[in-house]
Structure 1
C-alpha cells in the first residue's frame, strides 16, 4: 500500500521533526529541501525515507545540531571547509554558497569539505550551482558498502559523482550517479520490504551473487562496470577523503549502525563561473547546439527519444510536484515512529486530515 502526500504537508512534517530533534528552523528547512528534492526526482532511496536516521543521529548527538563551520582560503581558488560534524545538507549548502563567492571572485573554486555527514542527492547542490551560472562537479565519499573490482569485502563507499552545466533552454545536462551498479539505499529499501533485487547488483555476506535484498544488505554492492566503477570510486575517495583531511574508506562511520563514531564524510566541489571565462557569452548556446545534435541521433529499436542526463528526473519532478510524493506504508510507519519519539504529530494523522 502507498499514500500520495501533498508537498506542503510533508514539508511541514519534516521541518517539525528536525526542529524537535534540535535543528534551527533555517537548518531544518535545508535538510527537508534536500530530501524532498530526491523524492521529486524519483530517487526515494535518498529522500524522505532518510528522515528517521537523520533525526535519530541528531537527537543522539552523534551529529551536531549547531556546528561551528569554518572556512579557509589557502590560495585564491581553493576553499577548505571544516563541517564540524554538522548535518551533511547544512554543511554542503554553506560550502556551496561560500564556493560560489570564491568562483565569482576568482573564476574557479576548488572546495574540499571535511568532517561532514551524509548530504543526500548531489544534484541538489549542482542544480543551484548551474542556476548561478557555473559548470559544477560535486562528489562525496561514503562508508564502505561496496567492494573494489576483484574483491568481495566491503572496503569503499558507493562514492557518487554529480556534474552539471548551464545550457540555453530548459533541457538539463546534469549527471548524478553512484560509482556502484546501484545506490546502496535502493538495496536497503528492498531489504526493508523483503523484495528481490536484479542480478549483478550485489554479493551476499559469503561473497556469492544474490538477488535477495536482505542478503545483499548484509553483503556488498558491486562497482559500476567492474574495474571502471571501482577506479572512479577510488578517485572520489582521493578527492573527498584524502584531500579533505578526513577519514576515508573503511575508517568512515556507518550511518545506520554506529551511533558513537561521527561519520566524518568528505565532499568535493569544482565550480567554474562561466561568466569569468573566455566563453562567457557563448557557452550556454553551444551546449544547446551539442544537445540538439545528440538528440538528432537515429533511434535504436525500442526507443522513442534521446534523453540528456537529468532529463528524465526533470520530468518526474514536474509531475511529482503537482501530484505529491508517494510513500509506501513501511516508510510512513517509520516516519510516524520517529515523530512519536520526538513528541510530534504522526504523518499518517496529517494525511488523514488532508483527505478529510
Structure 2
C-alpha cells in the first residue's frame, strides 16, 4: 500500500496513541519510523513499530513518561528517558545539543533508561543535516555471543556515524557489531527461510543456517573477535558511560513488563571550528571515491521522498491496535 509521508506519520501516531502512548511520544516515534523508511531501513521502520506498540501495551515502555534532562557540564547533556523511548529524549535535547555544539565545538549527549533506539542512523543524520559531524552508539538486551561462549552477552550494539555533504544527503554509516540485525533473523524465521552461514548459533551453541533454530540461540559478531571487540566498545559507551543497563542485565524488548533500560551515547562535533568547509570537501571526496567504485553509505536516504510503500498485511496488523 502506498502512503504519502503525511498519511504515514498520521498512521503511526494514531496506532501509538491507541496503544497508550502520549501524543508527544507518538509524534517522536512516528517521525523516526517514517525517517527509517525513507532511509531504506524498513526493518527498523514500520516493521519494527509493532514491537513498540506491544511495549506500550505490556508496560515495557512507560508510555506517558516525559524525559528528564540535566546538564552536568557545559558540553554534556544527560537524559533520563524514565523507561520511555530514546526518540523523545533525543527530541527534547536536540536544540540544546545544537546550541552547545555550536558554542563549544563538541557536545556529548548521554541517554539512559530507554527502550531500544530503533534506527541508530536517524540520530546522527539529523545532526548532520544541521551541519554537524556525529557519532552514536547504543546497546540492547543480550542477543550476541562472543569468543568461545555460546551465551549471548552483548546486544547487536550498533555504531552510527554521519557527516554533512554539500548539495546532497549526509554520509551515514549505520551498522551493527553483530553479523546481522536481530530483526532480520526474526523475519527469516517468520517466513521459514534459511540464513547465511556465520550469522548465528542454535541453542546448543552450534553454527546454524536454520533461522528458527537461530531464534533459540544467539547471533554472532561480525568478523569474529574484531566484531566482538567493537560490541564491547559500544557497550562501554552506551551502557557504561550512560549508567544504563549492561546488555546482560537488560530485560527483553519482546517479553515481560519491564523496560530494557538501555542507553544511547552521542557525540556531536562542529566541523566549522576545526576544518571550515568540510561539507564541500566531503562532496568532492565522495564523488572521487564513487568514481572508483566505492560504495558510499547513506545515498539510499531519500531526503525529498514524498511516498513510501507498506505491505498491506503490516498495515492490517497496525490498524488492529486501534480496535483493541
TM-score (norm 1): 0.85
Decide which of 92, 95, 113 is 2:93's aligned counterpart. Answer: 95
Q: Any stretches of 5+ residues in structure 1 without a counterpart?
A: 298-304, 342-356
**Closer, same or farther in 2 for the Cα pair 1:219/1:96, shift >3 Å?**
farther
C-alpha distance in 2 between matches for 1:194 and 1:336:
25
Query: Helix, strand or coil for the counterpart of 2:83?
Result: coil
The Cα shift of 1:223 comes to 0.4
Say which one has the larger Rg.
1
CA distance in 1, matches of 2:88, 2:207: 38
What are the within-5 Å matches in structure 2 for residues 129-278 of structure 1? 129-170=127-168, 172-259=170-257, 261-275=258-272, 277-278=273-274
Instruction: Structure 2: give runs of 5+ residues left out of the alignment.
Output: none
Contact 2:247 2:262 in 1 (8 A): no
Structure-1 separation of matches of 2:20 and 2:155: 28
1:285 aligns with one of 268, 271, 280? 280
- Distance verdict in 2 for CA 1:203–1:328, change over 3 Å: farther
Judge conservation of contact 2:201–2:219 (CA < 8 Å) in 1.
yes
Aligned residues: 324
Structure 1 residues 45-66: Cα deviation after superposition (integer angstroms, max 9, x where no partner): 2111222221222233332222
* DSSP-derived class of the 1:314 partner: coil
- Inter-partner Cα distance in structure 2 for 1:195 and 1:9: 32
TM value normalised by structure 2: 0.92
Q: CA deviation at 1:11?
A: 2.6
The structural deviation recorded for 1:5 is 4.2
Q: How far apart are residue 125 of structure 1 and its match?
A: 1.4
Output one character per residue of 1:105-127: Cα deviation in whole Å (capped at 9) or x when no partner. 22110121111111210121111
In structure 1, how many angstroms separate the alpha carbons of the residues matched to 2:185 and 2:312? 15
292, 314, 318: which one pairs with 2:301?
314
Shift of 1:6: 4.3
